Chain A
Amino acid sequence: MANVSMAQFHQVFFEESLEGLDNMETALLALDEGGDKELVHTIFRAAHSIKGGAATFGFPEMSAFTHEAESLLDELRDGRRPIDKPIIELLLRSVDCLRGMFARAQAGQPLNDEAAEALRGELAAAMGREATTEVKARRSGDRADAWTVRFRPHPGMAASGNDPLRLMRELKALGEMKVTADLDKLPALDKLEPGECHIGWTIELRGQVKRDTIKGVFDWVEDECDLSIEPLHVVAPPAAAEAPKAAVADVATARAAREGAPAASAESSSVRVSIDKIDSMIDLVGELVITQSMLDQFRENFDIAKLAMLQEGLTQLARHTRELQESVMGIRMLPIGSVFNRFPRLVRDLSAKLGKNVRLDMHGEHTELDKTVLEKIGDPLVHLVRNAIDHGLEMPDKRRAAGKVEQGTLRLEAFHRGGSIVVEVADDGAGLNREAIVAKAVQRGLISSGEGMSDEAVAELIFQPGFSTAAVTTDLSGRGVGMDVVRRNVSDLGGSVTIRSTPGKGSVFTIVLPLTLAIIDGLSAAVGEESYIVPLVSIVESVQLKTEAIRSVAGGGELFRFRGEYLPVIRLHEVFGCAGAVRKIEDGLMIVVEGEGTRVGLFVDGLNGQQQAVVKSLEANYRRVQGVSGATILADGSVALIVDIAGLVRLQSRRKAA
């Protein structure tokens, strides 16, 4: 029963422990950089918590492993062992190992593997001994069938919360007692301090009790009393095998507990919310209730003289609703620091492997992002960072030859801009090599020649599928996963990636992400009887065209000229089969949109205006539809589909190919 109730805390334990491991890693890396020795305390505390939790929640292997790491940390903390590179390396590997154990624990798999066992041995070896086994043989202590216990508390004992009466009660539970009080130290009444203990006792305890059991009663007050425990009669010592058997049984129960609760490993994801956020929401709800009751009075008796008040109330209602909306959305927002955290380690390992000297400069870790965005932005960022170290930053000798400092700088920064979050990955490396890119693109058949192409257009080429400029494919960033995948991932999140590069000075990759996925800013466009929402972020501009501006191409496609470029036309009424839509180009409107770096014109009847749309999943309620990212409910209660620009562009190019 107790074990069943324990399982409900596993998820919290996993989450806080993984967070603790992140903190350990960060602190270890800072120590590696010559950081404050105080950091050892932080690391120790994290390991200590994990060990305690692992033991409590039935993960003895994890607890045993952490125990070794903790002992080593304890020696570092006390200064008994110097903190050097090999030790930090070993502890970093222990962090990784524990992460693996947690992953297996969450998946309900056996925790220990050979690597973990070997690393545990390494930790012990670092302390000059063998790994301890957690089986503790408890001393059983001698037995007697009657004892004399002399107990005299020190005057201050009760102040520590130890009531002598409680101790007597516990002793009484062990057997039959005969107690004599010793009053010789009792002061005169006028000198008596009521909170102090002045009486001593001699207790004759009859029963089959071990000395340790009696001692256990007094374990908390050993240092606060005079105590002697003497046998009245001695009996033969008991069988010795008892203790280890008990320890084995403990491990077995713990294992059974874990196996007995497989349901606990089926996680539902959760968010930790700061109390401040919740408090502010409660305040806002309070405000809403007040406004509501104020508006309520107009229901019964309204005359036109109160119109101003009614309007005032409605304005207030609108404001509070908006604030509450922002506040509720805020619950899903988490600092990007949790994603940035992995980079110090990554940069350290990677630059060491490549023989480069790289300094990582991170800013804006507190910038908050929607949890879903946060979970999916990690991989693209890892790719960009790897790319910057692998291809962007030069080797130290090359940098020196170019008159730069040997240490390259990689800047990772997150900040707000308008209604978006911007994440930049910048390096002060060589910048993009125009010739190499053009040559590669020609070789790949992406373009016929680079002549007349702007630098921006050349830079865009690296986002084309299957593009890679590295002469030798390394195992780091050249695994066929290109920048096109980065762009695809980011655009799936409703964001965009662009690059700005200066030869010899470096490159900046800029990722622009929406604040949240749950609400988007969009333009509502009319197509026949229907309305469609076009996300504002993807709109370049809207133009009204004459029919002559449209050129038909072979295969039924249409193009129009926009700022020196020919863009394909996508007629929304054709894609979605809307009846009664405008067909003549000059009667409708062309919305120029951009998705995955490609611009197209969306032909619609006209615009209804800008609005915020609460995104409802189409997949969850119906099924996935190509070219549509979701649906929303309009102010009049009707449903509008949200256009997925990137999806439409893909749809269009497939149709073109067919």
Chain B
Amino acid sequence: MAKILAVDDSASMRGMVAFTLRGAGHEVSEAENGQLALDQAKGGKYDLVLADVNMPVMDGISMVRELRTLPEYKGVPILMLTTESHTDKKMEGKAAGATGWLVKPFDPEQLLATVNRVLG
């Protein structure tokens, strides 16, 4: 069981991700933009962060960049939830320090497989 932070401005996406991961026994917190996620991440150490790219207030890429400046988030897996039309975004996310990505649309099985991949 891991502590996971799910970040997406879409409540349905966040709900789906959280529901799936909770179903697999993980402890999931939710945040609806990068800034809120950052505040939350500072408050407690997460084992994995899943973040959407396009969000208001603070986008996912800036969030990753900020997270990686925190010593306790060096090496913590951060996955970007991105859409296939934006392959450049994957690389931008990586350059900011993301571990990898999960391409939307994904179904619960794919989500769990990817999460298990990074959590080991």
Contacts and interface: CB of A to CB of B under 8 A. Distances in A.
Nearest to A9: B12
Could you say which of A5, A49, A55, A160 has the most chain B C-beta atoms within 10 Å of its C-beta? Answer: A160
A56 interface: yes
A394 interface: no
A252 B97 CA distance: 37
Given A9-B15, A166-B118, A160 B99 contact: yes
A173 to B, nearest CB: 10
A9 B10 CA distance: 11
A56 B16 contact: yes
B12 A55 contact: no
Contacts of B91: 223
A581 B76 CA distance: 80
Given A2-B108, A63-B105, A67-B85, A160 B97 contact: yes
Contact of B10 (A53, A162, A224): A53
B76 to A, nearest CB: 6
Interface residues of B, number: 39
Interface residues of A, number: 42
B66 to A, nearest CB: 14
A220 B114 CA distance: 12
Contacts of B16: 6, 9, 56-57
A45 interface: yes
B85 A159 contact: no
A13 interface: yes
B75 A161 contact: yes
Chain A interface mostly: helix
Interface string A222-258: 0110000000000000000000000000000000000
A139 to B, nearest CB: 14
Interface string B37-81: 000000000000000001110000000000010000011111000
B13 A56 contact: yes
Nearest to B109: A2
Given A45-B56, A195-B75, A6 B108 contact: yes
Given A63-B105, A161-B99, A169-B120, A71 B85 contact: yes
Contact of B94 (A5, A71, A160): A160
Contacts of B98: 160-161
A49 B10 contact: yes
Given A160-B94, A161-B77, A52 B13 contact: yes
A74 B54 CA distance: 13
A13 B19 CA distance: 14
A16 interface: yes
B15 A159 contact: no
A220 B82 CA distance: 13
A12 interface: yes
A52 B100 contact: no
A223 B13 contact: no
A161 to B, nearest CB: 3
A435 interface: no
Nearest to B9: A49
Contacts of A162: 77, 99-100
Contact of B104 (A2, A55, A195): A55
Contacts of B105: 52, 55-56, 63
A49 B32 CA distance: 13
Contacts of B97: 159-160
Contacts of B23: 5
A220 B109 contact: no
Nearest to A165: B120
Nearest to A12: B12
B29 interface: no
A143 interface: no
Interface in A349-402: none
Nearest to B56: A45
A92 B66 CA distance: 37
Contact of A56 (B75, B85, B104): B104
A159 B10 contact: no
A308 B25 CA distance: 54
Interface string B79-97: 0000111000001001101
Interface in A1-38: 2, 5-6, 8-10, 12-13, 16
Nearest to B48: A161
B28 to A, nearest CB: 15
Contacts of B68: 159-160
Contacts of A166: 117-118, 120
Contacts of B104: 52, 55-56
Contacts of A74: 85
Contacts of B54: 44-45, 48-49
Interface string A43-61: 0110011011101110000
B31 to A, nearest CB: 12
Contacts of A160: 68, 75, 78, 94, 97-99
Contacts of A220: 94, 99-101
Interface of A: 2, 5-6, 8-10, 12-13, 16, 42, 44-45, 48-49, 51-53, 55-57, 63, 67, 70-71, 74, 136, 158-163, 165-166, 169-170, 195, 219-221, 223-224
Leading 9 A-B pairs by shortest Cβ distance: A220-B100, A161-B99, A55-B105, A13-B12, A161-B77, A56-B105, A12-B12, A2-B108, A52-B104
Given A5-B23, A53-B13, 5 more contacts: A45-B54, A55-B105, A161-B98, A162-B77, A223-B91
12 contacts: A48-B54, A52-B13, A55-B105, A56-B13, A63-B105, A160-B94, A161-B99, A165-B120, A169-B120, A195-B75, A220-B94, A221-B100
